[in-house]
A and B are shown apart, each in its own frame.
Chain A
Amino acid sequence: MVNNQHAAPAPVGGSLVNAATLTCGVLIALMVAILAVRFLFGLGAVTALNDGYPWGIWIVVDVVIGTAFACGGFSVAMLVYIFNRGEYHPLVRPALLASLFGYTLAGAGVIFDLGRWWNVWNMYWPGSINPNSVMFEVAMCISLYIVVMWIEFSPVVLEQLGKDDARRKVGKAMFFIIALGTVLPMMHQSSLGTLLVVMGYQIHPLWQTPLQPALYLLTAITMGYAVVLFESCVASSAYRRKIEMHMLTPMAKVMLGFLAVYLLIRIGDLLVRGALSQAFVPSVEALTFWLEMACFIAPLILIGAESNRRNPAKLFLAGILLMLGGALLRLNGFLIGYETGDGFSYFPTLAEVLVTAGMFAIEVLGYIIITRRFPVLPREEATH
């Protein structure tokens, strides 16, 4: 293993009060106020949800897209521990932290959307569970994965608290926790796609396929690497640190490999089902389909060549495009390509957008606080 050559993670340090953290604070306060109204007066009081569109951005953006964005931890852990590429080790902690936040908040955020949230214990009660339900599988795996990720991250906290004994104990079981941490996301990220299958004809043919689990899993892995590219670039510029190009360049190649497999399956499936003709019918769905495909295909051209993968700006842009593409695949399947009959429409209210923004603000705030106070990012002789 080449781990020993890396700089150890260390707290970034610096002040916790700045423009970014204050903005996050305001957004979080707004979210709390809106949620108070939601819990007192019902979902209709703050959302644009209706019986034609029972799921809005709190489910599709915060959970379906949000947890896919939070696959960085899973994608990098798989690279480092399963494919034994120790050179990427410094990327593990920051990626895991972002995933931890993404998933924990998505899990908590589901409660806002549950119309009868006080019954949620039935999801874990043997007398109530329905193993035929795709949603049951998703809920189980996400719940378990959140716990697994906290254990994976616990050495960081224990290290800072100086509890070395506890840290060693966790370390001994870590290989199993890491294995669990790769299997659980494979299970629920694929099932998030399978959620659409039971909706049958209501999902536009461009997004309704029995291969749903493969498509959602492959894009979640791709998005995981894309998010790491994005985060590394943002963290370097915000904390004025050196950009980790020696790791990002080869990692981008792995990402393109997954992307190529995805595109083969995606296009092959459309051809076999004869659904591709739908992409040439003038419609909103065809337009958003091509947008989605453009986001997936452009990175192949943009960073297909090794020399282009050494360019941080191009890597950053490719990362953003793949995050957008994966987000569009999910938005298209769950909302834009969902049609349940005439007379229904959905566009999120300002209140819904503010709650989603508030959740995002918690993630950013948490990331800032933890990286400044706990050993997550590699140590660097840098000024702040």
Chain B
Amino acid sequence: MSTRRDFLKGALASGAAVTACVAAVPAAARETRPRPPEALGLLYDATLCVGCKACVAACKEANNNPPEFSTVDHLWDTPLDTSGYTFNIIKMYRNGTMEVKDQEKNGYAFMKTSCMHCGDPSCVSACPVSAMTKDPVTGVVGYNPDKCIGCRYCVAACPFGIPKYQYDSPTGRIGKCELCRHRTKDGHYSACAEVCPTGATLYGKTSDLLAEAKRRIALKPGTRTTYPRGKVGGPDQSYEAPVGNYLQHVYGEKEYGGTQVLKLSGVNFAKVGMPDLPPDAAAALSETIQHTLYANLIMPFAVLGAMTWVAKRNVKPDDESSDKEGS
């Protein structure tokens, strides 16, 4: 039967085309990208945080964000989570009697929630219109509302739940920490670090911050050491304090290939809202799949070529009118 033979031919041609392309495309594996060498970031040390929330207020002011209320009297800015209008928040962990700070059982702890400025950010990979970008030098993940189409793929993609959208506005934007990149030209740096009274939030080059974090977790808990405040390498505002009971884990050193914001804690990170992440970024896998299938559009064009060849044989130029003859 000729139709059966043609069917097999079509199946073979398209199957062979697809297989040939998959084999021919060079391995387009995209490795997880490391932080840029001059990357800027923050070090948050939960054992130094006193929960004063000066950083939350300073962030609001620096980003010109309105207060958000969660109490009946609407007197104070009391956001319960980050949002399209709150880019930084201090959350509290509580357990049992809450007697000892930074202790998992019968203790309490603080944790800062804000953009981690990933080395290989999912939001940047997801954004179809390059509204979310990573600065090649500072590594800061910035947002451009003039390009953003509001699709919220970045919101869905971020493993930390950071980019957030303003659902209450007909012209809503995405809101997220941009490490106060708009304030650096006036000699300022991240407002949260500028105002932190204990140095729990410290600003600087991520490489310096990582060294500082490693110095801290190597110390014996209870001994005394010097803690810098504000900005690493800035004017000396350091003070002496007892060493906290650190977990031997610098969060952000390896997660998703490394983030530019690093964290130290006495309580298991998963319990204070920081997810367990593998060393490979999801963006790398996603882009590997895309670039394997679509490298230089070789495969789509090869498949199109095969399909055109088969269709050319099977579609008679006057195909549509040939139907008419049958009536």
Contact = CB atoms under 8 A, between A and B. Distances in A.
A82 B10 contact: yes
B273 A83 contact: no
Nearest to B172: A115
A6 interface: yes
B307 A179 contact: yes
B128 A198 contact: no
A42 interface: yes
B169 interface: yes
Interface in A311-336: none
Interface stretch (B186-194, B203-211, B308-316): B308-316
A119 B318 CA distance: 42
B308 A116 contact: no
Contact of B128 (A123, A159, A202, A212): A123
Given A128-B129, A130-B129, A114 B149 contact: yes
A172 B316 CA distance: 9
A116 B145 contact: yes
Given A1-B316, A39-B170, A81-B310, A200 B282 contact: yes
Interface in B284-317: 285-287, 289-291, 293-294, 300, 303-304, 307-308, 310-317
Given A116-B173, A340-B161, A84 B3 contact: yes
A8 B327 contact: yes
A135 B287 CA distance: 12
A120 B147 CA distance: 8
B288 to A, nearest CB: 8
Contact of A133 (B11, B127, B169, B273): B127
A136 B128 contact: yes
Interface stretch (A23-31, A48-56, A225-233, A291-299): A48-56
A6 B323 contact: yes
A194 B289 contact: yes
B161 A52 contact: yes
**Size category of the binding interface on chain A:** 35 or more
Contact of A122 (B147, B152, B161, B290): B147
B73 interface: no
A52 B83 CA distance: 11
Contacts of A42: 166-172
Interface of A: 1-10, 39-45, 47, 49-52, 54-55, 80-87, 89, 113-117, 119-120, 122-123, 125, 128-130, 132-137, 139, 155, 159, 167-168, 171-172, 174-176, 178-180, 182-183, 186-187, 190-191, 194-195, 197-202, 210, 212-213, 338, 340-341, 343, 379
Interface of B: 3, 6-7, 9-11, 14, 81, 83-84, 122, 125-131, 145-153, 155-157, 159, 161, 164-173, 273, 275-277, 282-283, 285-287, 289-291, 293-294, 300, 303-304, 307-308, 310-327
